[in-house]
Amino acid sequence: MAYGISCRAAWVGFACTACACGPSGTFVPNADLVIGPDSGPPSADVPESSDQAALDASTFAQKPEWSGPCVASPGAIDVNLGNSPESFVQAAYCQINGSAPSSATVANWANQLRTVSYFRRIDVVRSLCQEAGKECALTYSDPWLTDVLRAETCTKKTTRDVGAVMMFFFTCPGQLNCGLDWANTHAWGMNVADAIYATASSPAGYYAPTNAGFWLREFLDARYAGLQFVLPNVYGYDIQPSTGEAQNIEAALTAIDAMGGGFKVGLFNDTWAWGQSVAGPLQNPAPDLSNTEAAAQSIYNVQWKPFFQQISRPHWYTINGAPLIYFYNAGTLSPPSGASAVILRMKQLFQQDFGVTPFVDVDRGYGSTASADAQFSWDTFSAFPSTHVDLEATITGGLTFANSMVKWDSVGRDTPGAIATATMRIFKGPEILAQVLQTAADANLLLIETWNDLGEGTGITRNYDYYANGSWLPPDAFMNEIRAAQCSN
């Protein structure tokens, strides 16, 4: 999530004749995205340029290996120059010092990148800067020649559904939660508008929820990866009708309907914003869970009701017909003992407004919750250190739900400028994801935590600088890991 385990803080114009949503009962789709049936990504996603062939390629191709010249950088040090560990060390040393490193220096750092699981390219750069007595600004170039636009559907070969928590709390470029040093890995469109987030009105867009193209590309990538749904990480203030962000979710889902469908959303009710200044008066003060009616009305009217009003029913991900809601404990609502009564009352309010009772999976941080349909532990690294997966039978329906955190690196967010050590929690590669997919093979549902939290380093969406064991991983490495387990095509 946006603010860490210790301090939790996760867009297609055509007629929408059956979209009964929003406070008025109708939804006006975002006319900024224009997609026809089975057409793949909109033509506006790819500008008319010499890069057309590269963007249409079917595989990712690396840029040629760095070969110099060995000169000092007049500005920021590029952490992403050089593909092999040896070439990278040479490129970094040259940028910092203006001279070539010794063979021993190259061998030492290259060996650490290959053999020390927690060590990262940025740690080498910061170490070399310290040795040179310099304060180095950093930049992160894209090491790939191509960026592949995935739009294929998934033909499931399992009975399991897979979903993920999807963050949208960032304001790119360069603003809240979008600094390049803050992120562990980097998505296209963070600091420069990119064609993969284009809309009909703009040939390029930013990695930001206010950009309609962001939602469409994330949903298409998630569908390609074999996910059936995502749970947008809703704080409350972020999905009020005035923000337009829930409308953009609905518009992207409508576009995907015209491309073969097969994708839906539920709700991840993140409680972090209650009582926080960023949420403004809408969520201040935080409700008192011992006051059941007042707390239920507050949370329901700020988080549950506006979200499901703006997302049409065909786009709800459901469990036996019940829309799926995860209710997270961020430590901002108390007392925990009051959660059960509050959730029960919110389920009643939902039934009154929508005619169906939601399926609510409640964080075990609230203790045993009688009104929950299932319960989960968010921090699977701590709770399940050997398997990394919470695999439990649900309270309602006799189903088996699993959830797992499969990556982690929050150093840039939590301790800016620090060099990684063995005591820090850093998991970079796809090994845990592969293990979890196998362990939870027989589950009815697997929720991955998360799809795209860059600051926490838990994301598995397309990023251009995944690096593990001394080599670049393809930007879709984690997506393909799931697709291989879930899809027959």
What digits encode the pLDDT tens for the residues 78-92?
999 999 999 999 999
What is the distance between the alpha carbons of residues 166 and 168, in angstroms, rounded to a whole number? 7
Domain containing residue 299: 149-486
One domain, residues 108 and 171: no
The pLDDT of residue 8: 30
* pLDDT tens-digit map of 409-451: 999 999 999 999 999 999 999 999 999 999 999 999 999 999 9
412 in the same domain as 388: yes
pLDDT of residue 488: 97
Where is 448: in which H helix or E strand? strand 445-448
- Are 130 and 183 part of one and the same domain? no
pLDDT in tens, 234-257: 999 999 999 999 999 999 999 999
| pLDDT one-digit tens code per residue, 205-219 | 999 999 989 999 999
Number of domains in the chain: 2
pLDDT of residue 44: 29
Whether 208 maps to a domain, the answer reads yes
Looking at the predicted structure, is the pLDDT value of residue 144 above 60? Answer: yes
Token pair of 163, please? Answer: 């979903």
189 and 205 Cβ atoms separated by less than 8 Å: yes
pLDDT tens-digit series, residues 149-198: 888 999 999 999 999 999 999 989 988 799 999 999 999 999 999 999 99
42 has a pLDDT exceeding 70: no
Does residue 29 fall inside a structural domain? no
**Over 90: is that where the pLDDT of 351 sits?**
yes
Q: Is 374 within the bounds of a domain? A: yes
Whether 59 maps to a domain, the answer reads no
Residue 350 and residue 249 share a domain: yes
DSSP 290: T
Residues 224 and 103 both lie in one domain: no
Asked whether residue 279 is domain-assigned, the answer is yes
- Please check the confidence at residue 33 and state whether its pLDDT lies above 70: no
Long-range contacts of 296-303 (CB under 8 A, 24+ apart): 296/342, 296/343, 296/345, 296/346, 296/349, 297/349, 299/236, 299/269, 299/271, 299/274, 299/342, 299/346, 300/345, 300/346, 300/349, 300/350, 302/236, 302/237, 303/234, 303/235, 303/236, 303/239, 303/267, 303/269
289 Ramachandran zone, left/alpha/beta (phi>0; psi -120 to 50):
alpha
The residue to which tokens 């800067």 are assigned? 129
Which residue, of 120, 139, 158, is where some domain finishes?
Answer: 139
Please give the Cα distance from 224 to 80 (Å, whole number). Answer: 27
Whether 128 and 240 share a structural domain = no
Mean pLDDT of 276-283: 96
Helix locations, 161-211, DSSP H: none
Residue 439 and residue 480 in one domain = yes
pLDDT attached to residue 7: 33
Specify the pLDDT at position 57: 52
pLDDT of amino acid 16: 30
pLDDT above 90 covers a percentage of the chain that reads 84
Asked whether residue 14 carries a pLDDT value surpassing 80, the answer given is no
Q: Residue 54: inside a domain, yes or no?
A: no
Residue 480 lies in a domain: yes
Residues 104 and 184 in one domain: no
Of 104, 139, 174, which residue is a domain's last?
Answer: 139
Mean pLDDT score of the chain: 89
Q: Are residues 215 and 347 in the same domain?
A: yes
Of 6-20, 152-166, 323-337, 394-408, which range is least confident? 6-20
Question: Is the same domain home to 124 and 202?
Answer: no
Instruction: Kindly tell me if the per-residue pLDDT of 39 is higher than 80.
Output: no
Q: Cα(165)–Cα(133) distance, rounded to whole angstroms? A: 42
Instruction: Reply yes or no on whether the pLDDT at 4 is more than 80.
Output: no
Q: What share of the chain is helix, strand, coil (3-state, %, to 5)?
A: 30, 15, 55
For the domain that residue 418 is a member of, what is the CATH number? 3.20.20.80
Instruction: Assess whether 187 and 102 both reside in one domain.
Output: no
pTM of the model: 0.89
Confidence of residue 148 (pLDDT cuts 50, 70, 90): confident
pLDDT tens profile 286-300: 999 999 999 999 999
Please report whether residue 21 resides in a domain.
no
Which residue carries 């941080």 as its tokens? 365
Residue 75 pLDDT exceeds 50: yes
Asked if 86 and 170 sit in the same domain, the reply is: no
Query: What is d(CA 143, CA 137) in angstroms, rounded to the nearest whole number?
Result: 19
- Of 109, 139, 169, at which residue does a domain stop? 139
